[in-house]
């Protein structure tokens, strides 16, 4: 049935709902992550207090963000690293490309970084003749498949093992069974060579400690360690909001980050990188570059979306979101999916970009419940919707309906009258005491659900008998 | 191209526009990190048996394999045993000075090739040689600078004579430690990190600190857990009883 | 119970007034049985939440201003809906913050307003209610009652207090039913998909009735249950407690 009100987002969402593979994968994966997180926090009584502290540290840091960034930069430079300042995605790409050109970089191995996805770095590198190689297994899979990640921490969650086996067999020219152990070993072997040969390692940063100039990577596979120790150049791309003041702050976040993301007490590897290799070291990059990325973040410091800057990119909100659980990450259409993704997209691309996405939420609040830094996502979604009204981004047809609704609510007479009118208009649609097959906007409801009819006597009409 | 001043100024301007969402403070820091670290050490000197028990539970929970030996002389036998079981031919180790024992001679008798990093040998030739050896070795032997009981984590500082790849490239990583390395909580790790960085150039000869919690792992394919994606498939911790 | 009668004003909610008056009637009979004097400020229409949630805050503020005035003399305000009670308690003060008089009135109203189960347990101190209602029921935690008002115990306590009722826990009771107000018609396929999951859980309990404390959720879940021809009936807590639910 065609729907004149169908939008690109609702189209993508609809397609996702019809994808049986995806539905099954989402169900299993999100349920697993939810259970793991729940179990981890249930045996961890300090968890709630740590979440409060983590939130406070993020807020306190934002209140002096400029100072902390300057201290971070000073320390990185003192250590022999170079700091670059990228206001836009384009600038960030330019910085990395220039480095590649000046240093004769032909291949770059990458550890998982949402920031590099955000700025579309891989495409830019390829156009410049540099081969970027994703080494996080999930990212490696989707790179081979020419797809985008569908989840912040489990990028290939939408792929079955059969699909991965097929993919590897085709791209790596072999015959591999649909066995995760075998496929992992295949990836290990294929990528080990790349680590050893690559000219540059590119990472993001989960945190950067201002006091010491340390960049922190939280990973499980070991590729984060590889790319920061084997190639001769290490480039870390980091959103400015990732800076934290001290090592004492760092351990607060470490205590809750992995628990929130995967239910682990700590991920397999937490790697603290303090500049390029030191004089006494046999291994490590000769050069360390920290690229600080703004790309719309600073504009949010004094906005209603400020809290979104606390985000640790753990993915917990995705896993519990009733919408994400039904449609997966690709349907959102942007780098960051799920509840926080809507806010980040507004932050990075402007309010108009979330004209539809801002409504991709039932405001149930499950996200806020699990966020390690207690970001009040539902409140910010409502604020965002407020912006869509005030900036007249919401469609005028919708605004007309809501303004009319308001008038109805301000006048009891009009309200009473509308019930009477409704009672009369609904008559052709009442079947066995329910409304079915309604036209227009109401049809969107009755396509899949019954609606109760306007009561023969409203409560107000019955009140006189009750009093 | 944005320069530092312009970039920071934009942020400073935005920060000045708002008092923020609520009064908030960052984590309290030790006023005298060195003293605080000593206090932690003293506490653990008393509590090391409990810490060790806790470590073992947590380490095994993340698929680590725990060994216990009476003294350093007994360590090579453990390593030799692991090598034999796995048909390993080649090992890399930290500088014996950093390890506290020399595995080479003991294990050479077993027909194993043992290559130890040497502090002070860091020219380009040594670098290339080491990379080739580390890539070939099946077992890597290191010490551990801190051993965190709460999470079953080994914390290794890189540096002279303690290459990063020893605990990264081989399939099997063996870390040898004594009671003086044990810590109980992440919070204590924070104190030790503060102390290290109070005078970082003196305290650390390398630029990397690795927290290692079990073997390399992933669940990226259908959420099925597999080990040894890029890093080691096995992690062993050998506790040496003798103080 | 208190020596002097407790007086409560009903905030019946827009959906309650127009689509589910039987819930309001059940609520009145129940409260009177518990010794409460009930009244109904007649000018009421809606708490304004649909406007607020869709971002029409200026409009929602006007509705809020009207509502706080309507209920300014109420001793207690009782709402058969977690989301409306949440709207009044949590959002009204912020919406009216620019007018000190209205803001004070909103703060006062917030203090006096409770969702029905909270009112019964906290104000009346009642946990056991006799009701002819019988059978196996399961309970759905509406998002705003659960997370907005932090309430999951009171409804369950009251359900367990009815001797003929057998309460079975709903798997995923705390998961959204997919209503979300206008969300249900903005993204109807996603809303229906979320609903399917909820109803599969409901049917797995073997309960004959699904109980909730929110008209929106009941509209969504009830509408889904009848559409799929399910034997399970969606009822409001008030109907169980007053014994007026469907047989």
The two three-digit tokens of residue B36, written as one number: 């605080």
Q: Which domain holds residue A21?
A: 1-43+314-376
Q: Between A8-18 and C188-204, two packed helices, what is the crossing angle to 10 degrees?
A: 30
| Per-residue pLDDT tens listing for chain A (467 residues) | 345 556 789 899 999 999 998 999 899 999 999 999 999 999 899 999 999 999 999 999 999 999 999 999 999 999 999 999 999 999 999 999 999 999 999 999 999 999 999 999 999 999 999 999 999 999 999 999 999 888 888 889 889 899 999 999 999 999 999 999 999 999 999 999 999 999 999 999 999 999 999 999 999 999 999 999 999 999 999 999 999 999 999 999 999 999 999 999 999 999 999 999 999 899 999 999 999 999 999 999 999 999 999 999 999 999 999 999 999 999 999 999 999 999 999 999 999 999 999 999 999 999 999 999 999 999 999 999 999 988 888 888 888 999 999 999 999 999 999 999 999 999 999 988 899 989 888 899 999 999 999 999 999 999 999 88
Name chain B contacts of A288, Cβ cutoff 8 Å: 207
pLDDT at C16 over 50: yes
Same domain membership, residue A331 and residue A444: no
A154 in a structural domain: yes
Q: Which secondary-structure segment (H or E) carries A98?
A: helix A89-103
Same domain membership, residue A177 and residue A251: yes
A389 in a structural domain: no
Closest residue of chain A to B63, computed from CA coordinates: A268
Name chain A contacts of C227, Cβ cutoff 8 Å: 448-450
A414 in a structural domain: yes
Same domain membership, residue A332 and residue A210: no
Same domain membership, residue A156 and residue A137: yes
CATH number at residue A229: 3.40.50.10420
Q: Between A180-197 and A137-144, two packed helices, what is the crossing angle to 10 degrees?
A: 90
Same domain membership, residue A115 and residue A88: yes
The pLDDT score that the predictor gives to residue A2 is 44
Do residue A59 and residue B12 have CB atoms under 8 angstroms apart?
Answer: no
Same domain membership, residue A270 and residue A155: yes
CA C11/CA C16 separation, integer angstroms: 9
Closest residue of chain A to C63, computed from CA coordinates: A410
Of residues A362, A415, A454, nearest to C183 (C-beta): A362
**pLDDT category of residue C4 using cuts at 50, 70 and 90:** low
Same domain membership, residue A94 and residue A27: no
Domains of chain B: 29-240 (3.40.50.10420)
The two three-digit tokens of residue A162, written as one number: 């059969």
The pLDDT score that the predictor gives to residue A3 is 52
Domain end point (choices A322, A345, A376) = A376
ipTM reported for the complex, 2 dp: 0.97
How many domains, in total, are found in chain A? 3
| Best mutation target, A356, A409, A431, to test chain C (most C CBs within 10 A) | A409
- How does DSSP classify residue C169? P
Same domain membership, residue A49 and residue A14: no
- Interface present between C and B (3 or more CB pairs within 8 Å): no
A4 in a structural domain: yes
User: What are the CA-CA distances from residue A280 to residues A20, A284, A358, B118, B159 (Å)?
Assistant: 55, 11, 53, 10, 6
Percent of chain B with pLDDT over 70: 100
Name chain B contacts of A61, Cβ cutoff 8 Å: 26
Same domain membership, residue A190 and residue A123: yes
CA A278/CA A271 separation, integer angstroms: 16
The pLDDT score that the predictor gives to residue A1 is 38
User: What are the CA-CA distances from residue C43 to residues A409, B145, C110 (Å)?
Assistant: 10, 73, 19
Domain end point (choices A376, A411, A428) = A376
SS3 of A130, please? coil
Q: pLDDT tens for residues C65-101? A: 999 999 999 999 999 999 999 999 999 999 999 999 9
Q: What is the number of H-type helices and E-type strands within chain B?
A: 8, 12
Same domain membership, residue A330 and residue A242: no
Q: Cβ of C63 under 8 Å from any chain A Cβ?
A: yes
CA C229/CA C208 separation, integer angstroms: 13
User: Strand A200-203 vs strand A131-134: parallel, antiparallel, or unpaired?
Assistant: unpaired
Rounded to a whole number of angstroms, the CA Rg of chain C reads 18
The label of the residue with tokens 């969606």 reads C234
A302 in a structural domain: no
Cα of A209 to nearest chain B Cα, Å: 11
Query: Phi-psi bin for C212: left (phi > 0), alpha (psi -120 to 50), beta?
Result: beta
Average pLDDT over residues B66-71: 97
User: Strand A430-431 vs strand A434-435: parallel, antiparallel, or unpaired?
Assistant: antiparallel
Domain end point (choices A293, A322, A342) = A293
Same domain membership, residue A38 and residue A48: no
Q: How many CB pairs (< 8 A) connect A and B? A: 285
A387 in a structural domain: no
Of residues B14, B126, B230, nearest to A188 (C-beta): B230
Cα of B185 to nearest chain A Cα, Å: 10
SS3 of A63, please? coil
Same domain membership, residue A115 and residue A14: no
Q: What is the distance between the terminal CA atoms of chain A, rounded to a whole angstrom? A: 48
Range list of H helices, A198-246: 223-227
């Amino acid at each position: 049935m065609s729907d004149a009100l169908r939008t690109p987002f609702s189209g993508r969402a609809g397609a996702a709902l019809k994808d049986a593979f995806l539905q099954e994968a989402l169900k299993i994966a999100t349920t697993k992550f939810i259970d793991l997180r729940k179990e981890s926090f249930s045996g961890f009584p300090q968890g709630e207090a740590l979440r409060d502290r983590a939130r406070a540290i993020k807020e306190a840091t934002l209140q002096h963000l400029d100072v902390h960034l300057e201290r971070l930069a000073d320390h990185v430079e003192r250590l022999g690293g170079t700091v670059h300042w990228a206001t836009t995605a384009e600038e960030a790409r330019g910085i990395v490309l220039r480095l590649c050109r000046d240093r004769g970089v032909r291949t770059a191995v990458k550890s998982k970084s949402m920031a590099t996805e955000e700025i579309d770095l891989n495409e830019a590198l390829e156009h410049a003749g540099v081969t970027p190689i994703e080494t996080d297994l999930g990212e490696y899979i989707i790179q081979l498949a020419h797809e985008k990640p569908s989840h912040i921490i489990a990028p290939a969650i939408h792929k079955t093992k059969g699909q991965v086996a097929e993919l590897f067999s085709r791209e790596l020219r072999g015959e591999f069974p649909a066995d995760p152990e075998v496929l992992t070993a295949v990836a290990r072997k294929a990528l080990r060579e790349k680590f050893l040969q690559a000219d540059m390692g590119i990472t993001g940063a989960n945190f950067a400690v201002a006091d010491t100039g340390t960049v922190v990577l939280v990973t499980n596979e070991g590729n984060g360690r590889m790319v920061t120790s084997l190639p001769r150049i290490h480039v870390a791309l980091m959103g400015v909001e990732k800076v934290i003041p001290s090592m004492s702050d760092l351990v607060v976040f470490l205590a809750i980050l992995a628990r929130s993301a995967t239910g682990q007490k700590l991920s397999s590897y937490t790697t603290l990188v303090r500049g390029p290799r030191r004089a006494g070291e046999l291994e490590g990059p000769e050069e360390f570059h920290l690229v600080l990325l703004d790309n719309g973040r600073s504009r949010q410091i004094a906005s209603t979306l400020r809290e979104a800057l606390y985000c640790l990119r753990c993915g917990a909100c995705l896993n519990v979101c009733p919408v994400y659980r039904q449609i997966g990450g690709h349907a959102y259409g942007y780098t960051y999916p799920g509840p926080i993704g809507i806010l980040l997209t507004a932050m990075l691309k402007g309010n108009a970009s979330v004209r539809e996405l801002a409504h991709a939420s039932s405001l149930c609040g499950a996200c806020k419940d699990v966020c390690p830094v207690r970001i009040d996502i539902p409140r910010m979604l409502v604020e965002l919707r407020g912006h869509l009204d005030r900036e007249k981004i919401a469609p005028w047809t919708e605004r007309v309906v809501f303004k009319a609704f308001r008038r109805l609510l301000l006048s009891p007479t009009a309200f009473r009258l509308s019930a009477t009118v409704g009672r009369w208009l609904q008559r052709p649609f009442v079947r066995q005491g329910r409304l079915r097959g309604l036209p227009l906007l109401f049809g969107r409801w009755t396509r899949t659900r019954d609606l109760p009819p306007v009561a023969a006597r409203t409560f107000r009409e019955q009140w006189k008998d009750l009093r | 191209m944005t320069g530092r001043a312009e970039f920071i100024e934009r942020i400073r301007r935005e920060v000045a526009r708002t008092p923020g969402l609520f009064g908030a403070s960052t984590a309290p820091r030790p006023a005298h990190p060195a003293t605080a670290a000593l206090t932690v050490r003293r506490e653990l000197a008393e509590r090391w048996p409990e810490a060790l028990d806790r470590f073992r539970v947590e380490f095994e929970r993340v698929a680590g394999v725990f060994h216990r030996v009476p003294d350093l002389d007994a360590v090579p036998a453990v390593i030799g045993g692991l090598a034999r079981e796995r048909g390993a031919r080649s090992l890399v180790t930290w500088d014996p000075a950093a390890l506290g024992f020399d595995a080479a001679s003991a294990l050479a008798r077993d027909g194993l090739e043992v290559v130890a990093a040497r502090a002070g040998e860091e020219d380009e030739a040594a670098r290339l040689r080491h990379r080739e050896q580390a890539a070939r070795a099946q077992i890597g032997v290191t010490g551990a600078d801190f051993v965190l009981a709460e999470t079953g984590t080994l914390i290794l500082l890189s540096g002279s004579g303690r290459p990063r790849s020893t605990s990264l490239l081989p399939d099997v990583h063996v870390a040898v430690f004594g009671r003086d390395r044990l810590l109980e909580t992440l919070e204590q790790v924070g104190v030790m990190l503060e102390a290290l960085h109070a005078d970082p150039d003196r305290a650390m000869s390398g630029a990397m600190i690795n927290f290692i919690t079990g073997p390399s792992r992933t669940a990226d394919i259908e959420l099925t857990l597999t080990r040894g994606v890029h890093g080691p498939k096995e992690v062993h911790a050998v506790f040496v009883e003798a103080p | 119970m208190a020596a002097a009668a407790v007086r409560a004003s009903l905030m019946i909610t827009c959906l309650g007034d127009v689509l589910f008056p039987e819930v309001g009637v059940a609520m009145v009979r129940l409260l009177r049985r518990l010794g409460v004097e009930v009244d109904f400020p007649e000018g009421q229409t809606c708490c304004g939440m649909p406007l607020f949630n869709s971002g029409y805050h200026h409009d929602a503020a006007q509705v809020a201003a009207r509502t706080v005035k309507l209920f300014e003399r109420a001793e207690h305000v009782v709402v058969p809906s977690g989301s409306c009670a949440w709207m009044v308690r949590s959002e009204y003060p912020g919406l009216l913050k620019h007018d000190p008089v209205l803001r004070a009135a909103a703060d006062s109203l917030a203090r006096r307003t409770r969702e029905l189960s909270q009112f019964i347990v906290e104000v009346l101190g009642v946990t056991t209610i006799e009701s002819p209602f019988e059978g196996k029921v399961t309970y759905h935690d509406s998002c705003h009652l659960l997370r907005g008002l932090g309430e999951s115990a009171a409804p369950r306590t009251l359900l367990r207090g009815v001797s003929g009722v057998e309460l079975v826990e709903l798997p995923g009771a705390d998961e959204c039913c997919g209503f979300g107000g206008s969300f249900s018609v903005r993204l109807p396929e996603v809303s229906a998909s979320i609903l399917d999951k909820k109803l599969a859980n409901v049917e797995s309990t073997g309960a004959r009735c699904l109980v909730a404390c929110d008209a929106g959720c009941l509209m969504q879940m009830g509408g889904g249950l009848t559409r799929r021809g399910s034997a399970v009936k969606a009822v409001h807590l008030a109907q169980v407690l007053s014994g007026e639910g469907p047989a």
